[in-house]
Structure 1
Amino acid sequence: MFQSFDDATSPDQGPPRLAALREELAREGYDGFLIPRADAHQGEYVAPCDDRLAWLTGFTGSAGFCAALRDQAGVFIDGRYRVQVKDQVALDHFTPVHWPETQAGPWLKDALPEPHNMAYDPWLHTQAEVEKIRDAGVTLVETDNLVDRIWEDRPAPPQGRAEAQPLELSGKSSGDKRKEIAAILKDAGHDAAVLTLPDSISWLLNIRGSDIPRNPVVQCFAILHADARVDLFIDPEKVAHLGPDPAIDQHPPDAFADALAALTGTIRVDRGSAPAAVSQLIEAEIAYAQDPCVLPKAIKNPTEIEGTRTAHIRDAHAMVEFLAWLDKQGPGLTEIDVVTALEGFRSKTNALRDISFDTIAGAGPHGAVVHYRCTTSTNRAVKAGELLLVDSGGQYVDGTTDITRTTVIGRPSREQQECYTLVLQGMIAISQARFPRGVAGRDIDALARAPLWRHGLDYDHGTGHGVGVYLCVHEGPQRLSRISEVPLEPGMILSNEPGYYREGAFGIRIENLIVVQEAPELGDRRDQLSFETLTWVPFERRLILRDMLAPHEIEWINGYHAEIWEKLELSGAARDWLDAACAPL
């Protein structure tokens, strides 16, 4: 079992830890200290030894930060976590702050005395973050990590062994990738690029690892030179078994700082992902630009797309087996029962390497907690007439999956059906979208929201995120979001997951993965793009109101279900369930 149900944190742990941190602030003469979710690699998910935000505050979300001052402590959280944070932190000591509506700089400027000195660890904040806070008039000073000083039982750093991702799965050799990225550097006049994102380095070198739960990446740093040579800063035990590569020079991690200081020429640094310490250590000329691996990694090659299709068919078999099992259950089934059963069906494929994130199984009001994680203390049974939101995915060597289905135990209410149908209409709108080349996620995000908007409803998260191939389930730079300006390009994989959440009552989310493709020619043959659906699992018929759907929406659903019936080879009870689930509306 990959997933556990232990309570990772408790609200009562936060106050004494905050008090100990404030003692350090007083000892050093600082007015506050910033505690981000991020580690030195700036990944979304962190190893236990780097989960400082959760350790200090109790908040376990995948994004956010804490500004711990001498007299108050703000926990900055986005729309996904505004319900969750209230259950996880001691609200008499930590104050939730709506972010990004409220930015750190202005909040600190108002909260800090004058003069002030706000401390931060330069290895845990990007150059962009630091500049933005300073631009608001906040005085920031570098220090070692004050949380690490008081964290007495801090776990050891991860030491997972790297594995080679073979050419038949990667579709392109590491040597070819290095030459491709080196050419980008040469064209830009850059002599080297500093790489700090583990998924960028893992993609570039065609390696996978186990340093971060649910994300098969290898934690390390690298410097890619314009002649395609790589300096790799990694624990040698992680890669010793892979054999030498004459174009890759291996160094211990503690040699990274000196190597940065020794660089000459023009050095490319991503101010949005590299730690601020990187810029402080480099004495050569710095050219701030995006990590050169990010966009090529996001545009999947044909081998990666075909592998992802295969992974999704495999995952769909497991999901249908699960849904057929679930349909036989009645009230009393618990959230932990659901998570355990679903992981069991995926494991039976004999191909599951890990789950791609902790499965979200939110019954009734828990479904309104966007990134809910059930534990032994929060576990609840699904009651008759309640919605059950299940968001899950698998890591397979040929692809990463992410799917959400919302179902109902017993008979749904009309209101539940109406809300579900509105969400489904938004998902269909994205699935059917055609758009000119050059369009970004922000340009089509509203398609998913329009049905909800017409009824005065909305959701507080993006419509979709990028997805890797046996890498991180959340990947940039592409997104379906109001703030995404990255043009969509063929080969980019995204999620399509509108939702609706009513705090204290229920949550609805429906999610498929899609890949950008060249659109078939129509009309005056303008150059357009569209989406290919990758996920093949039926929707919940009991929650669909046919009379709310337009004819083209009914046609799309029926066509989608017909393809599922053709693609999936099942037998017995699962086939019987699938026959009924895929029957025309």
Structure 2
Amino acid sequence: MTFQTFDAVTRPADGPPRLAALREKMAEAGLAGWLVPRADAHQGEYVAPHDARLAWLTGFSGSAGFAAILHDQAGVFIDGRYRVQVRAEVDGAHFTPVPWPETRLEDWLVAHLPEGGRVGFDPWLHTEAEITRLETRLASAGITLVPHANLVDQIWTDQPAPPAAPACAHPDALAGRTSAEKRAELAADLRARGLSAAVLTLADSVSWLLNIRGADIARNPVVLAFAILHDTGRLSLFTAPEKISEDLRAHLGPEITLRPVSAFGPALRSLGGPVLVAADSVPRQVVLELHEAGVAVETGADPCLLPKARKTPAEIAGARAAHLRDGAAMVEFLAWCDEALPGGHQTEIDVVRRLEAFRAATGALREIAFDTICGAGPNGAIVHYRVTTATNRKIHPGDVVLVDSGGQYADGTTDITRTLATGPVAPEVRDAYTRVLRGLIALSRARWPAGLAGRDLDALARYPLWLSGRDYDHGTGHGVGAYLCVHEGPQRFSRLSDVPLEPGMILSNEPGHYREGAYGIRLENLVLVASAPALPGGDPGRAMLELSTLTLVPFDLRLVDRAALSAEEIAWLDAYHARVLAEVGPQVSDSARAWLARACRPLAGTA
């Protein structure tokens, strides 16, 4: 069995007739515009085929973005990761890529719509915070947002059915806490705040809270469900009943009431207030249901986010075990790459298949964490490139190959990027690679006072690139779940993140540099936030934090300009490689161990 497929999921030619059909529906409804988000009702990054409305309509298949359809304009809003990809996937004569967040949706609508314009949206697919922000700006321009039944669904005649994959129990031993313990803690907080209940709509929050996992979303082991957590610790779970077996009902216990999704709206209207909703993730429809029933609403953060982000000792131990296992698979893979790629006979698809096979050979792989990114030469500059049979490129000697991949194991989720040489490279490439590596090392070595957020550390990884006039148009790192979503909030290394970093949080550390039409470079390790020991001469009583690296895979030293590294950077790199050799070496084949010894050779003392 293989997880990844290589068929193109969209075709640019499909967009124009679908756009015309949508505009007909807009005219019938008296709407000047229609909003098409990437998200589903659970606001996850990835969506089931049933909810892939943005890709179906426009052709854009990226994991972030949205479209605003007017009668004479069709804007596809994409961030810096997708500026190259969107041009290849949409029909440029009918859809216009719009740089976002540089251009805000509300400003674009004001610029393109006359006063009195009515813009429709599906209130299940947009958050309360998003719609409130848009309404505030658009009202001043005389533009109205109108909740409406989904127009895309009305023209999508062969729309796939909603997912209904069986759910399963996630062992308490791997979670480190029972669902009852988690619910009791959150319920106590609700009572302390004078709240009667919390509405949960994020699939990974519900899955984490109940210690369950599923397969409703490819690559993300979550159960698509809504939940209402009461201040007693009891919980109402709204999902397709066929997902829940009798054994799983027993795992959930008597404090969990299972109800169909159709009962969610009536249940909201029956609540006594006040009720906690997360405005940045709860659909507008949830708030409409509560308001129409006169239920008092208090907005705040999803109560599961921070407890989920603070991994338990059991989850941390599982992450370390998963990364050791994954590191061994990666070393076998990289040893194969060194032998196979310089010959010029392998393609990007060959590389993806071989990597998945090495992970599957562990006997523990449940899923891949996302579609493997394997970009050779110019394809490496497409930040979230997904190889298809149409784009598949043969790897030529001298190509730089970017491979970003991960695995879903019962004890942890992995995510790693390595950039590989297949022959001699230009000095520009070596310089860029070395600067990216120096940025990764700088963040890895960071110590900082407790209370700082990801935005306070993001620049450390960029500084070596900034000194050469380079940068990258994505965050430096995202949070990672424990056999959950590979992209997990609220923590991240980003200029936009104001969430304080706390011990137990797992994040990626992944600076990069991309030269369109030529090459892409990215290096990524997963790191764990931990308390830092006191240092002689330090401020008494000042708590400090540091990062512990989880990923155990060598970097390609052939791409490193040793002369550009400081003594401290060389010491860190040599210590890291010594650890990789000591821990991963006993886990791999004899031939891979010999390759690993060469790959982990120390730089200290060499010219």
Equivalent residue number for residue 163 of structure 2: 158
Equivalent residue number for residue 580 of structure 1: 598
Deviation at 1:115, TM superposition (A): 1.3
Structure 2: distance between partners of 1:92 and 1:260: 44
Match among 567, 570, 579 for residue 563 of structure 1: 579
Secondary structure at the aligned position of 1:578 is classed as helix
Q: Which amino acid aligns with 1:500?
A: H
Secondary structure at the aligned position of 1:75 is classed as strand
When the two chains are superposed, the root-mean-square deviation of aligned CA atoms in Å is 0.7
Structure 1: distance between partners of 2:485 and 2:243: 19
Equivalent residue number for residue 108 of structure 2: 107
Say whether residues 1:144 and 2:162 are aligned partners. Answer: no
Secondary structure at the aligned position of 1:34 is classed as strand
Q: Extract unaligned runs of 5+ from structure 1.
A: none
Equivalent residue number for residue 392 of structure 1: 405
CA contact (8 A) 2:332 2:589 kept: no
Match among 484, 494, 499 for residue 486 of structure 1: 499
Q: Which amino acid aligns with 1:92?
A: A
Secondary structure at the aligned position of 2:229 is classed as strand
Equivalent residue number for residue 351 of structure 2: 338
Deviation at 1:458, TM superposition (A): 0.1
Structure 2: distance between partners of 1:191 and 1:240: 30
Equivalent residue number for residue 554 of structure 1: 570
Match among 257, 272, 281 for residue 249 of structure 1: 257
Deviation at 1:136, TM superposition (A): 1.3
Deviation at 1:527, TM superposition (A): 1.1
Deviation at 1:574, TM superposition (A): 0.4
Equivalent residue number for residue 557 of structure 2: 541
Deviation at 1:243, TM superposition (A): 2.6
Structure 1: distance between partners of 2:202 and 2:589: 44
Structure 2: distance between partners of 1:240 and 1:327: 47
Equivalent residue number for residue 282 of structure 2: 274
Secondary structure at the aligned position of 2:298 is classed as strand
CA contact (8 A) 2:123 2:284 kept: yes
Secondary structure at the aligned position of 1:563 is classed as helix
Secondary structure at the aligned position of 1:124 is classed as coil
Structure 1: distance between partners of 2:507 and 2:79: 21
Match among 448, 451, 462 for residue 438 of structure 1: 451
Equivalent residue number for residue 38 of structure 1: 39
Equivalent residue number for residue 380 of structure 1: 393
Equivalent residue number for residue 299 of structure 2: 288
Secondary structure at the aligned position of 1:274 is classed as coil
Equivalent residue number for residue 8 of structure 1: 9
1:36-70 CA deviation, whole Å, 9 max, x = no partner? Answer: 00001111100000000000000001000000111
Superposed, which structure 2 residues align to 1:27-426 within 5 Å?
A: 27-137=28-138, 138-241=143-246, 242-244=248-250, 245-282=253-290, 283-329=294-340, 330=342, 331-426=344-439
Structure 1: distance between partners of 2:71 and 2:505: 45
CA contact (8 A) 1:406 1:508 kept: yes
Question: Which region of structure 1 is more displaced relative to structure 2, 226-235 or 239-248?
Answer: 239-248
Deviation at 1:240, TM superposition (A): 2.7
Equivalent residue number for residue 27 of structure 2: 26
Structure 2: distance between partners of 1:342 and 1:380: 17
Secondary structure at the aligned position of 1:243 is classed as helix
Count of aligned positions: 585
Structure 2: distance between partners of 1:323 and 1:53: 36
Deviation at 1:433, TM superposition (A): 0.2
Deviation at 1:332, TM superposition (A): 3.0
Structure 2: distance between partners of 1:424 and 1:72: 43
Q: Which amino acid aligns with 2:191?
A: K
Structure 2: distance between partners of 1:182 and 1:79: 40
Deviation at 1:168, TM superposition (A): 1.2
Question: Which region of structure 1 is more displaced relative to structure 2, 407-416 or 300-309?
Answer: 407-416
Deviation at 1:108, TM superposition (A): 0.5
CA contact (8 A) 1:404 1:512 kept: yes
Deviation at 1:298, TM superposition (A): 0.4
1:86-108 CA deviation, whole Å, 9 max, x = no partner? Answer: 00000110000000111111110
Secondary structure at the aligned position of 2:478 is classed as strand
1:517-576 CA deviation, whole Å, 9 max, x = no partner? Answer: 000211325310000000000000110000000000000000000000100112321011
Structure 2: distance between partners of 1:520 and 1:563: 20
Structure 2: distance between partners of 1:516 and 1:186: 30
Q: Which amino acid aligns with 1:314?
A: R
Q: Which amino acid aligns with 1:274?
A: V
Q: Which amino acid aligns with 1:369?
A: I
Structure 1: distance between partners of 2:548 and 2:326: 17
Structure 2: distance between partners of 1:26 and 1:160: 37
Question: Which region of structure 1 is more displaced relative to structure 2, 206-215 or 131-140?
Answer: 131-140
CA contact (8 A) 1:163 1:209 kept: yes
CA contact (8 A) 1:182 1:227 kept: yes
CA contact (8 A) 1:412 1:542 kept: no
Secondary structure at the aligned position of 2:365 is classed as coil
Structure 1: distance between partners of 2:434 and 2:298: 49
Say whether residues 1:449 and 2:462 are aligned partners. Answer: yes
Q: Which amino acid aligns with 2:491?
A: Q
CA contact (8 A) 1:385 1:413 kept: no
Structure 1: distance between partners of 2:62 and 2:315: 30
Match among 524, 528, 531 for residue 544 of structure 2: 528
- Percent identical: 59
Structure 2: distance between partners of 1:30 and 1:296: 42
The ranges of structure 1 where at least 4 consecutive aligned residues each deviate by more than 3 angstroms after the TM superposition are none
Equivalent residue number for residue 503 of structure 1: 516
Structure 2: distance between partners of 1:24 and 1:236: 34
Deviation at 1:440, TM superposition (A): 0.1
CA contact (8 A) 2:271 2:295 kept: yes
Structure 1: distance between partners of 2:376 and 2:501: 35
Q: Which amino acid aligns with 2:516?
A: E
